[in-house]
A and B are shown apart, each in its own frame.
Chain A
Amino acid sequence: MFDAPLIVGVGNTYRHDDGVGPWVAKALAKQGYETRIHFGDGTGLIDLFGKKSNIVLVDATRSGAKAGTHVQFDAISQPLPADMFHYSTHRFGLAEAVETARALGVLPKTLLVHGIEGALFAAGRGLSPSVEETAADLVQHYASRPKTRKVRDTVSDVDPSQLT
Chain B
Amino acid sequence: MNDRVIQVNELARVEGEGALYVRINGDDVERVEFRIFEPPRFFEALLQSRMGTEAPDITSRICGICPIAYIMGACHAVEKALGIEVTPQIHALRRMIYCGEWIQSNTLHAAMLHAPDFLGLPSAMDIAKTNPELVRKALRVKKMGNTLMEVIGGRAVHPINTKVGGFYSAPDPDAIAALIPELEACALLAREITLDFAKFEFPDDDHDYLFVSLIHPDMYPILEGNIGSSRGLDIPPEEYPQHFYEEHVERSTALQGRTADGLPYLVGPLARYANNFEQLTDNCKATARDAGLGPVVRNPYQSILVRMIEVQYALEEAARLARIYEPPDPPSVAVPVCAGEGHGCTEAPRGICYHSYQLDDDGRITFANIVPPTSQNQPQIEVDLQRTVEGNLAMTDDDLQWRCEQTIRNYDPCISCSTHFLKLTVDRV
Contacts and interface: CB of A to CB of B under 8 A. Distances in A.
Contact of A91 (B14, B41, B129, B156): B14
B333 interface: no
Interface stretch (A53-61, A95-103, A110-118): A95-103
By CB atoms of chain A within 10 A, which of B13, B112, B125, B146 has the most? B125
A105 B109 CA distance: 23
Given A89-B15, A89-B65, A103 B157 contact: no
A130 interface: no
B188 to A, nearest CB: 20
Interface string B336-365: 000000000000000000000000000000
A104 B128 contact: yes
Contacts, number: 65
Given A39-B157, A164-B64, A92 B124 contact: yes
B155 A44 contact: no
Contact-size category for B: 20 to 34
By CB atoms of chain B within 10 A, which of A39, A44, A100, A164 has the most? A100
A41 B125 contact: no
Contacts of B64: 39-40, 89, 164
By CB atoms of chain A within 10 A, which of B41, B65, B109, B123 has the most? B123
Given A90-B14, A103-B128, A104-B136, A43 B157 contact: no
Contacts of B158: 164
A75 interface: no
A22 B142 CA distance: 24
A100 B14 CA distance: 18
B143 interface: yes
A97 to B, nearest CB: 8
B65 A92 contact: no
Interface in A105-164: 105, 123, 158, 164
A103 B108 contact: no
B125 A96 contact: yes
A113 to B, nearest CB: 15
Nearest to B112: A92
B12 A44 contact: no
Nearest to B13: A91
Given A40-B156, A47-B143, A90 B109 contact: yes
A90 B132 contact: no
B5 interface: no
B13 A90 contact: yes
A39 B112 CA distance: 17
Interface in B102-161: 108-109, 112-113, 123-125, 128-129, 132, 135-136, 139, 142-143, 146, 155-158
Contacts of B125: 96, 99-100, 102-103
B80 interface: no
B124 A96 contact: yes
By CB atoms of chain B within 10 A, which of A104, A105, A164 has the most? A104
A46 B125 CA distance: 12
A89 B14 CA distance: 8
A47 B156 CA distance: 14
- Give me the 3 closest cross-chain CB pairs, A-B, nearest first: A103-B128, A99-B125, A40-B157
15 contacts: A39-B64, A41-B65, A41-B108, A44-B146, A89-B15, A90-B14, A90-B109, A90-B112, A91-B14, A91-B15, A96-B125, A100-B135, A103-B128, A103-B135, A164-B64
Interface of B: 12-15, 41, 61, 64-65, 108-109, 112-113, 123-125, 128-129, 132, 135-136, 139, 142-143, 146, 155-158
